């Protein structure tokens, strides 16, 4: 279990490092808050470090869902203090040391005593990375997403949670050969846009500090600051090498948490995945303060557009999200039913119920999940599944019911992110990880000596073949066309995507293309197979659309009753 | 039809036209007083407005050509509503202090009281059916709808028929009402026997709707919707839908900047329900409910109140918290806002369907708004106001949504009319989130320090300053504003007791109260104390020490306890055995509840 959580974290960090999916451009303004790096920025005296250590201990004991015994916590902290190797206890030279540590630290009762104890051992410097790593490896599953962050980064995180980030509205690419940060994208209407900056601008200095070879964390640090304050950049562009100074005022940068199918801002006519079908597609990039508001706007749009089935794509990474907002979003989809049972450090297990009002009331929902689906979204998906509100398609997310949040530490300018709540599902007979209603199976690796694979894919126990689709009613034929048209029109299938494809896959793709003309194949002859192209992403999307189409066929024709009191004044009145 | 209409107009002209003669002398000599106009009607010929003034107990007659008041007549103590009878010969007015329904006709001397009928205490609104045979009076604190046989009362023609047809008790305090003619309705409900007339009654504070059958006097259905402060009820022009203006307070959202800013905590809405669902007692009201969210981040639409719809489907909605009239088209799409004066609560539609007349309750004025546009066409003053006392200024702040961040809500959003919406709100007054507490009434709050559930605030002004800054996420108040608000709140009397007929039961109940030592914490005369006590109830974060709320008017404060876990007073003792030192017999329970209902 612990390993799984850890690998999830590793995967998460790796994906961040890789700049996420190829289709998505990460704004500097969207870059998640990073953990505190002690090597970058040291903190205080030995006594201060002792107080920090104590504050960590106190926060874990107060807020963690199942805190380890205090002794274990102090030992983990002092191992960091003395930089003792992990399995040192077996090692004779360390045993003496650990005994001494036990004697000096285990009896500490408050921050001052801990501060003194560290001071007495001043020649050592507390290695908080070690502390965190030790705690994580020792109590990983219970600690959740365990990291130490500076208070000012926590402030930024809270800005993300409220969708009120303060910055310049730029995307900074850190790994340019020039060793300078490069502005790749400018958010329309943001301070940088108003200041006349253009993409492909090199930043040489920020407020007089040279930026060459400075790590991105530091660059973000310098760019971020209180609202209304100025930041002066020395910039040059590819066109004119001449360096000039630009002064920008930090302002609110709002980022939509809902995007369209191509992960672009939702336009007035961007809801339908295909013009001919009453099926909409919304990608939920993150859950923050504005998500509920955005969903209300989308609801009006969906109703106006006659959407009957809405696909909610819960895949992918975005800004850090806020579990409280997940509760509100889950509530907004449900009509009075239990959402989940939440247990926090200081509370009894408590069933949280949704209000009776519910968005998308007459619209069927399909939720797409996979291994990249984040905890907050996995929790919502589970709640919708348990209430029978949505049909889930895709792969099981890693989420195991542990909710992390960031807690301010007492008396030190740091916060600690850790597991603070556990969720049990509304349906008591269901466990974590959640199982999609239609799991789209990752297929066996194709190889050159395998026979050509007929087109189609498997959803759960069912195999769906293109040939099947051909053989049925005109409706299903329409389905097929729709699937094909999305494939060809899908910009998500970027150059990099196709580059990532292995040669064998390409062979399969070519070989199977004549199949389109091949007459109907009997279902019995069919083996589980994947759709072309064989990236994992596309079968899931196609499966979701297929499920949506089947659901849509079950929708009775609209009654004469005009339900559409559509559109929203908010569209016009407050477009942020 | 046309003839009938012109007849009506003619009669109206005779009835109120005389006002012009008197008016010419009256207009110069309007009294200096606070009027607090609360109800407005347009004459059938569209040339005049009749307005009921709550604080002055007067009716103002406005000439729309001259754009001024031509007459103001005192007819009662504290008026709460007015309408025109179907024959257009009279006005029916409710007086919430004299507890009367008043029939007013016109004479050369001005408005003249023709008849007074004592109705259930605290009448708040009056409606009549299309035929003009019944008047329906909703009485707020006595939670009663009185159905009056108008012909029997006014014409006294048929002595066989009693004046009072029915007095119907409701489990909530009613205010807004809507007469429904089932015959109008396009969709037929198979399960419904074909009754001609139904009366929809809405909760003044909380979330309940009742449908009453006026013929039988029975309550057909009693249902809840996620709503409070229901202040407008109308039929959609299609006649098959019901439109309601109200607010929604989320139980799960918290009073953080983000939840207030993005409209997660409090939303102002127009809700559309299918009339067939409303009329079918078995139907789920919300199955076809459609919500239109008003306002948005950066510009809230605090406290939607009365609204009108013109024949083209244009809606003019008063935003009483932001001092605006909001225009919505036939699909409820936002069409703009017009600035009015302070606290617009009621709107009347001109007979031409072009102009709407907005009653500015705290400015004693009428804003004339051209709906298409919308454009402000003019403002008519109802007369001079005296200088404001601190309480008067406080009243204006109390109803002003600008006290909250982005004008999403005002004090009166949760404390409707200074009382409570009975809902839970998760704010930091108790020091923690995740512990939603029931909104407390502010009525009778002057003498019940300390404040908040945990008794955290020693003075009312501390509580006020905290609520505005934290719960409403507004700008900090100046000291003067805080003390003005405090002065206003201290003028609010405790909620009147629901009362009971059985005075003997009340006496016996007093003995039970004594025997159970209730007065240890709920000490007379205010039936509270300054103590902070653990009575075995815990909130979600383990807080168990609360300040006992005052029991004056406790009958009006349901649900009970910090999280509203007891639906009624009976449940406080049967289900939760609140501080009982022994078994209560069912007689003792009945008596104790009678005693509490009488406080």
- Choose the most confident range, by mean pLDDT, from A16-25, A394-403, B318-327: B318-327
Structure tokens at A147: 């990291």
Which residue in B97, B79, B134, B108 sits closest to B17, CA to CA?
Answer: B108
- For B279-312, the pLDDT digits (tens) are 999 999 999 999 999 999 989 999 999 999 988 8
pLDDT at A343: 93
For B311, counting Cβ atoms within 10 Å of its Cβ (0-12 exposed, 13-18 middle, 19+ buried), the class is exposed
CB of B431 within 8 Å of a chain A CB? The answer is no
CB of A292 within 8 Å of a chain B CB? The answer is yes
Indicate the pLDDT class of residue A517, thresholds 50, 70 and 90: very low
CB of A83 within 8 Å of a chain B CB? The answer is no
Whose tokens are 């409606």? That residue is B127
User: Are B334 and A569 within 8 A, CB to CB?
Assistant: yes
pLDDT at B28: 57
SS3 per residue for B485-548: HHHHHCCCCCCCCCCCCCHHHHHHHHHHHHHCCHHHCCCCCCCCCCCCEECCCCCCCCCCEECC
Q: Hey, of A160, A319, A565, which one would you mutate to test binding to chain B, going by the most B CBs within 10 A of its CB?
A: A565
User: Is the pLDDT score of B429 beyond 70?
Assistant: yes
Indicate the pLDDT class of residue A124, thresholds 50, 70 and 90: low
* Burial readout B282-300 (b: 16 or more C-beta within 10 A, e: otherwise): ebebbebbbbbbbbbbebb
pLDDT at B536: 85
Structure tokens at B30: 């309007």
Q: Hey, of A323, A325, A335, A569, which one would you mutate to test binding to chain B, going by the most B CBs within 10 A of its CB?
A: A569
For B402, counting Cβ atoms within 10 Å of its Cβ (0-12 exposed, 13-18 middle, 19+ buried), the class is middle
User: Are A357 and B297 within 8 A, CB to CB?
Assistant: no
**A269-273, A340-344, A376-380, A490-494: which has the minimum mean pLDDT?**
A490-494
Indicate the pLDDT class of residue A440, thresholds 50, 70 and 90: confident
Rounded Cα gap, residues B572 and B516, in angstroms: 14
User: Is the pLDDT score of B398 beyond 80?
Assistant: yes
Taking contacts as CB-CB distances below 8 angstroms, the residues of chain B near A573 are 295-296, 299, 334
Q: Hey, of A573, A575, A576, which one would you mutate to test binding to chain B, going by the most B CBs within 10 A of its CB?
A: A573
CB of A39 within 8 Å of a chain B CB? The answer is no
Residue of A348, A361, A573 lying closest to B334 (CB–CB): A573
pLDDT at A114: 86
Instruction: Say how many CB pairs under 8 Å bridge A and B.
Output: 110
> What three-state secondary structure class fits B354?
coil
Neighbours of A85 (CB within 10 A): 10
Decide if B174 contacts B203 (C-beta within 8 A).
Answer: yes
Rounded Cα gap, residues A544 and A277, in angstroms: 14
Taking contacts as CB-CB distances below 8 angstroms, the residues of chain A near B434 are 344, 347
Higher pLDDT pick, B191 / B294: B294
pLDDT at B18: 46
Domains of chain A: 36-143 (no CATH), 155-253 (2.30.42.10), 258-439 (3.90.226.10), 456-535 (no CATH)
Higher pLDDT pick, B298 / A542: B298
User: Are B298 and A292 within 8 A, CB to CB?
Assistant: no
pLDDT at A15: 35
The interface residues of chain B toward chain A in range 188-227, judged by CB-CB distance below 8 A, are 225-226
Rounded Cα gap, residues A160 and A236, in angstroms: 30
- Choose the most confident range, by mean pLDDT, from B10-14, B346-350, B575-579: B346-350
User: Are A289 and B261 within 8 A, CB to CB?
Assistant: yes
**pLDDT (mean) for B209-236:** 94
* CA of B188 vs chain A CAs: smallest distance (Å): 12
Q: Mean pLDDT of all residues in chain A?
A: 74
The interface residues of chain B toward chain A in range 544-563, judged by CB-CB distance below 8 A, are none
- For A59-115, the pLDDT digits (tens) are 999 998 888 888 888 888 777 777 666 665 566 667 777 777 778 888 888 889 888
User: Is the pLDDT score of A14 beyond 60?
Assistant: no
* CA of B198 vs chain A CAs: smallest distance (Å): 22
User: Is the pLDDT score of B545 beyond 80?
Assistant: yes
| Overall residue count recorded for chain B in this entry | 599
Rounded Cα gap, residues B169 and A528, in angstroms: 67
Indicate the pLDDT class of residue A281, thresholds 50, 70 and 90: very high
- Kind of pairing, strands B197-203 and B208-213? antiparallel
pLDDT at A101: 74
CB of A331 within 8 Å of a chain B CB? The answer is yes
Indicate the pLDDT class of residue A210, thresholds 50, 70 and 90: very high
pLDDT at A447: 43
* CA of B228 vs chain A CAs: smallest distance (Å): 13
CB of B528 within 8 Å of a chain A CB? The answer is no
* Burial readout A537-552 (b: 16 or more C-beta within 10 A, e: otherwise): bbbbbbbbbbbbbbbb
Decide if A162 contacts A321 (C-beta within 8 A).
Answer: no
Rounded Cα gap, residues A349 and A423, in angstroms: 9
Structure tokens at B295: 């306002």
pLDDT at A106: 84
Structure tokens at A50: 């002792």
Decide if B269 contacts B293 (C-beta within 8 A).
Answer: yes
Here the ipTM equals 0.90
Decide if B526 contacts B537 (C-beta within 8 A).
Answer: no
SS3 per residue for B6-41: HHHHHHHHHHHHCHHHHHHHHHHHCCCCCCCEEEEE
pLDDT at A353: 95
Q: Looking at chain B, which residue has its C-alpha nearest residue A362? A: B288
**pLDDT (mean) for B163-189:** 81
Indicate the pLDDT class of residue B500, thresholds 50, 70 and 90: confident
| Overall residue count recorded for chain A in this entry | 576
Higher pLDDT pick, A473 / A385: A385
Q: Looking at chain B, which residue has its C-alpha nearest residue A304? A: B331
pLDDT at A203: 92
CB of B329 within 8 Å of a chain A CB? The answer is no
Structure tokens at A359: 């968005």
Q: Hey, of A357, A361, A421, A576, which one would you mutate to test binding to chain B, going by the most B CBs within 10 A of its CB?
A: A357
* CA of B253 vs chain A CAs: smallest distance (Å): 7
Taking contacts as CB-CB distances below 8 angstroms, the residues of chain A near B334 are 568-570, 572-573
User: Is the pLDDT score of A4 beyond 70?
Assistant: no
Indicate the pLDDT class of residue A130, thresholds 50, 70 and 90: confident
Q: Looking at chain A, which residue has its C-alpha nearest residue B296? A: A570
pLDDT at B208: 95
User: Is the pLDDT score of B196 beyond 80?
Assistant: no
User: Are B264 and A292 within 8 A, CB to CB?
Assistant: yes
Q: Hey, of B188, B207, B258, B277, which one would you mutate to test binding to chain A, going by the most A CBs within 10 A of its CB?
A: B258
Q: Looking at chain A, which residue has its C-alpha nearest residue B260? A: A289
User: Is the pLDDT score of B200 beyond 50?
Assistant: yes
CB of B253 within 8 Å of a chain A CB? The answer is yes
pLDDT at B418: 94
Element (H, E) at B203: strand B197-203
pLDDT at A462: 57
Rounded Cα gap, residues A264 and A283, in angstroms: 9
User: Is the pLDDT score of A142 beyond 80?
Assistant: no
Rounded Cα gap, residues A293 and A143, in angstroms: 32
Rounded Cα gap, residues A55 and A110, in angstroms: 9
pLDDT at A39: 67
Neighbours of A68 (CB within 10 A): 17
0.80 exceeded by the pTM?
A: yes
- Kind of pairing, strands A438-439 and A390-394? parallel
Residue of B226, B290, B328 lying closest to A563 (CB–CB): B290
User: Is the pLDDT score of B576 beyond 80?
Assistant: yes
Indicate the pLDDT class of residue A152, thresholds 50, 70 and 90: confident
Rounded Cα gap, residues A298 and A304, in angstroms: 10
- Kind of pairing, strands A230-237 and A201-206? antiparallel
pLDDT at B89: 86
Rounded Cα gap, residues A53 and A118, in angstroms: 9
User: Are B258 and A161 within 8 A, CB to CB?
Assistant: yes
**A14-23, A74-83, A385-394, B31-40: which has the minimum mean pLDDT?**
A14-23
CB of A341 within 8 Å of a chain B CB? The answer is no
* CA of A347 vs chain B CAs: smallest distance (Å): 6
Backbone angles phi, psi at B40, to 5 degrees: -140, 135
Residue of B248, B262, B287 lying closest to A290 (CB–CB): B262
**pLDDT (mean) for A360-369:** 93
* CA of B299 vs chain A CAs: smallest distance (Å): 7
User: Are B296 and A357 within 8 A, CB to CB?
Assistant: no
Cα angle vertex B290, ends B285, B296, to 5°? 135
Report the share of chain A in percent with pLDDT over 70: 68
CB of B331 within 8 Å of a chain A CB? The answer is yes
Residue of A357, A565, A573 lying closest to B331 (CB–CB): A565
User: Is the pLDDT score of B421 beyond 90?
Assistant: yes
Structure tokens at B23: 């008016």
User: Is the pLDDT score of A554 beyond 70?
Assistant: yes
Report the share of chain A in percent with pLDDT over 90: 26
Rounded Cα gap, residues A498 and A455, in angstroms: 18
In chain B, count of helices (H) and strands (E)? 12, 32
> What three-state secondary structure class fits A152?
helix
Rounded Cα gap, residues B105 and B16, in angstroms: 9
**A290-304, A373-387, B105-119: which has the minimum mean pLDDT?**
B105-119
User: Are B295 and A327 within 8 A, CB to CB?
Assistant: no
User: Are A356 and B334 within 8 A, CB to CB?
Assistant: no
**A5-14, A498-507, B139-148: which has the minimum mean pLDDT?**
A498-507
- For B518-528, the pLDDT digits (tens) are 988 898 888 99
Rounded Cα gap, residues A275 and A93, in angstroms: 73
CB of B21 within 8 Å of a chain A CB? The answer is no
Structure tokens at A221: 């640090």
User: Is the pLDDT score of B212 beyond 80?
Assistant: yes
* Burial readout A223-246 (b: 16 or more C-beta within 10 A, e: otherwise): bbbeeeeebebbbbbeeeeeeeee
* CA of A357 vs chain B CAs: smallest distance (Å): 7
**pLDDT (mean) for A217-246:** 88
Residue of B226, B261, B294 lying closest to A356 (CB–CB): B226
Which residue in B577, B579, B573, B575 sits closest to B592, CA to CA?
Answer: B573
B19-26 and B2-17 helices, crossing angle to 10°: 40
**pLDDT (mean) for A483-496:** 34
pLDDT at B117: 94
Backbone angles phi, psi at B272, to 5 degrees: -110, 125
- Distances in Å between the Cα of B404 and the Cα atoms of B259, B326, B368 are 12, 19, 27
pLDDT at B5: 59
Side-chain-side CA neighbours of B365 within 13 Å: the count stands at: 16
Whose tokens are 């199942």? That residue is A66
pLDDT at B156: 67
Decide if B255 contacts B436 (C-beta within 8 A).
Answer: no
Rounded Cα gap, residues A313 and A262, in angstroms: 11
Q: Hey, of B249, B254, B262, which one would you mutate to test binding to chain A, going by the most A CBs within 10 A of its CB?
A: B262
Domains of chain B: 1-169 (2.130.10.10), 390-489 (1.10.760.10), 503-597 (1.10.760.10)
Decide if A28 contacts A170 (C-beta within 8 A).
Answer: yes
pLDDT at A492: 35
Taking contacts as CB-CB distances below 8 angstroms, the residues of chain B near A361 are 287, 289
Report the share of chain B in percent with pLDDT over 90: 67
Backbone angles phi, psi at A4, to 5 degrees: -65, -45
């Amino acid at each position: 279990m612990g390993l799984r959580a850890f690998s999830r974290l590793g995967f998460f960090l790796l994906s961040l490092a890789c700049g996420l999916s190829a289709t998505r451009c990460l704004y500097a303004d969207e870059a998640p808050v990073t953990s505190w790096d002690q090597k970058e920025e040291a903190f205080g005296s030995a006594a201060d470090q002792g107080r920090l250590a104590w504050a960590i201990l106190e926060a874990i004991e107060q807020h963690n869902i199942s805190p380890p015994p205090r002794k274990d916590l102090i030992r983990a902290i002092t191992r960091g203090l003395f930089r003792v190797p992990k399995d040192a206890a077996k090692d004779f030279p360390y045993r003496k040391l650990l005994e001494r540590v036990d004697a000096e630290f285990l009896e500490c009762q408050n921050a001052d005593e801990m501060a003194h104890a560290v001071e007495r051992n001043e020649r050592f410097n507390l290695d908080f990375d070690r502390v965190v790593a030790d705690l994580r490896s020792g109590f990983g599953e219970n600690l959740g997403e365990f990291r130490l962050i500076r208070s000012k980064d926590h402030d930024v995180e809270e800005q993300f949670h409220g969708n009120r980030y303060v910055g310049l509205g730029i995307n900074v690419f850190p790994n340019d050969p020039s060793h300078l940060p490069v502005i790749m994208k400018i958010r329309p209407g943001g301070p940088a846009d108003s200041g006349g900056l253009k993409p492909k601008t090199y930043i040489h200095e920020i407020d007089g500090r040279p930026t060459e070879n400075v790590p991105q964390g530091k660059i973000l640090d310098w760019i971020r600051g209180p609202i209304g304050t100025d930041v002066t950049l020395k910039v040059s562009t590819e066109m004119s090498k001449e360096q000039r100074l630009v002064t920008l005022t930090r302002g609110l940068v709002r980022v939509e948490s809902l995007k369209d199918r191509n992960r672009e801002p939702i336009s007035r006519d961007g809801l339908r995945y295909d013009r001919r079908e009453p099926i909409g597609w919304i990608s939920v990039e993150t859950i923050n303060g504005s998500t509920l508001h955005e969903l209300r706007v989308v609801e009006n749009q969906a109703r106006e557009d006659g959407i009957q089935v809405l696909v909610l794509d819960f895949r992918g990474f975005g800004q850090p999200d806020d579990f409280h907002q997940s509760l509100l979003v889950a509530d907004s989809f449900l009509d009075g039913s239990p959402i989940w049972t939440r247990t926090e450090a200081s509370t009894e297990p408590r069933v949280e119920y949704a209000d009776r009002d519910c968005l998308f009331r007459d619209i069927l929902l399909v939720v797409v999940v996979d291994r990249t689906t984040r905890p907050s979204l996995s929790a919502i998906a589970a709640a919708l599944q348990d209430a029978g509100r949505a049909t889930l398609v895709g792969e099981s997310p890693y989420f195991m019911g542990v909710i992390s949040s960031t807690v301010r530490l007492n008396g030190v300018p740091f916060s600690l992110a850790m597991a603070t709540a556990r969720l049990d599902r509304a349906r008591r007979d269901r466990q974590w990880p959640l199982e999609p209603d239609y799991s789209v199976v990752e297929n066996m690796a194709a190889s050159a000596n395998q026979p050509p694979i007929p087109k189609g894919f498997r959803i759960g126990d069912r195999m769906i073949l293109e040939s099947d689709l051909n053989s049925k009613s005109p409706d299903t034929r329409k389905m097929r066309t729709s699937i094909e048209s999305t494939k060809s029109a899908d910009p998500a299938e970027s150059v990099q995507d196709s580059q990532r494809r292995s040669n064998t896959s390409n062979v399969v793709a070519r070989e199977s293309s004549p199949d389109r003309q091949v007459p109907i194949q009997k279902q019995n002859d069919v083996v589980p197979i994947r759709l072309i192209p064989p990236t994992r992403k596309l079968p899931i999307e196609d499966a979701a659309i297929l499920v949506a189409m089947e659901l849509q066929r079950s929708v009775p024709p609209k009654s004469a009753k005009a339900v559409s009191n559509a559109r929203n004044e908010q569209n016009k009145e407050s477009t942020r | 039809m046309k003839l009938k209409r012109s007849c009506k107009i003619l009669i109206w002209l005779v009835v109120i036209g005389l006002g012009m003669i008197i008016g010419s002398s009256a207009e110069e000599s309007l009294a200096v007083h606070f009027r607090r106009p609360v109800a407005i009607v347009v004459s059938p010929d569209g040339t005049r407005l009749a307005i009921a003034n709550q604080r002055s107990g007067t009716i103002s007659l406005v000439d729309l050509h001259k754009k001024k008041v031509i007459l103001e007549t005192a007819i009662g103590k504290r008026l709460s509503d007015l309408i025109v009878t179907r024959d257009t010969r009279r006005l029916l007015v409710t007086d919430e202090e004299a507890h009367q329904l008043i029939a007013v006709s016109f004479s050369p001397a001005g408005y003249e009281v023709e008849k007074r009928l004592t109705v259930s205490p605290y009448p708040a609104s009056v409606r009549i059916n299309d035929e003009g045979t019944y008047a329906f009076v909703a009485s707020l604190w006595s939670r009663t709808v009185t159905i009056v046989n108008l012909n029997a009362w006014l014409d006294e023609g048929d002595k066989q028929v009693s004046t009072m047809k029915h007095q119907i008790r409701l489990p909530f305090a009613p205010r807004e009402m809507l007469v429904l003619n089932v015959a109008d309705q396009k969709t037929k409900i198979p399960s419904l026997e074909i009754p001609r007339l139904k009366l929809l009654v809405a909760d003044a504070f909380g979330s309940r709707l009742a449908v009453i059958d006026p013929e039988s006097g029975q309550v057909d259905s009693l249902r809840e919707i996620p709503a409070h402060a229901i202040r407008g009820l109308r039929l959609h022009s299609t006649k098959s839908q019901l439109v309601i203006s109200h607010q929604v307070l989320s139980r799960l959202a918290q009073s953080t900047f983000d939840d207030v800013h993005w409209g997660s905590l409090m939303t102002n809405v127009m809700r559309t329900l299918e009339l067939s669902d409303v009329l079918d007692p078995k139907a789920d009201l919300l199955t076809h409910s459609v919500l239109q969210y008003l306002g948005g981040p950066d510009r809230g639409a605090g406290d939607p109140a009365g609204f009108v719809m013109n024949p083209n489907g244009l809606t003019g909605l008063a935003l009483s918290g932001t001092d605006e009239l909001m225009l919505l088209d036939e699909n409820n799409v936002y069409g703009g806002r017009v600035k009015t004066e302070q606290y617009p609560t009621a709107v009347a539609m001109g007979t031409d369907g072009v102009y709407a007349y907005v009653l500015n309750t705290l400015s004693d004025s009428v804003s004339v708004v051209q709906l298409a546009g919308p454009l402000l066409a003019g403002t008519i003053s109802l007369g001079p106001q005296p200088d404001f006392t601190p309480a008067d200024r406080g009243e204006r702040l109390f109803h002003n949504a600008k006290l909250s961040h982005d004008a999403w809500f005002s004090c009166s959003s949760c404390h409707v009319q200074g009382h409570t919406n009975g809902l839970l709100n998760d704010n930091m007054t108790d020091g923690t989130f995740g512990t939603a507490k029931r909104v407390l009434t502010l009525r009778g709050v002057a003498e019940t320090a300390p404040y908040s559930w945990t008794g955290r605030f020693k003075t009312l002004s501390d509580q006020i300053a905290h609520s505005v800054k934290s719960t409403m996420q507004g700008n900090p108040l100046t000291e003067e504003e805080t003390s003005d608000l405090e002065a206003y709140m201290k003028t609010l009397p405790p909620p009147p007791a629901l009362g009971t007929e059985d005075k003997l039961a009340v006496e016996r109940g007093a003995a039970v109260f004594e025997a159970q030592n209730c007065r240890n914490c709920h000490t007379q005369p205010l039936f509270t104390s300054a103590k902070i006590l653990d009575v075995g109830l815990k909130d979600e974060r383990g807080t168990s020490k609360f300040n006992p709320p005052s029991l004056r008017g406790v009958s009006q404060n349901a649900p009970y306890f910090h999280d509203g876990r007891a639906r009624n007073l009976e449940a406080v003792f049967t289900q939760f055995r609140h501080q009982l030192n022994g078994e209560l017999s069912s007689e003792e329970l009945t008596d104790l509840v009678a005693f509490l209902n009488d406080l």
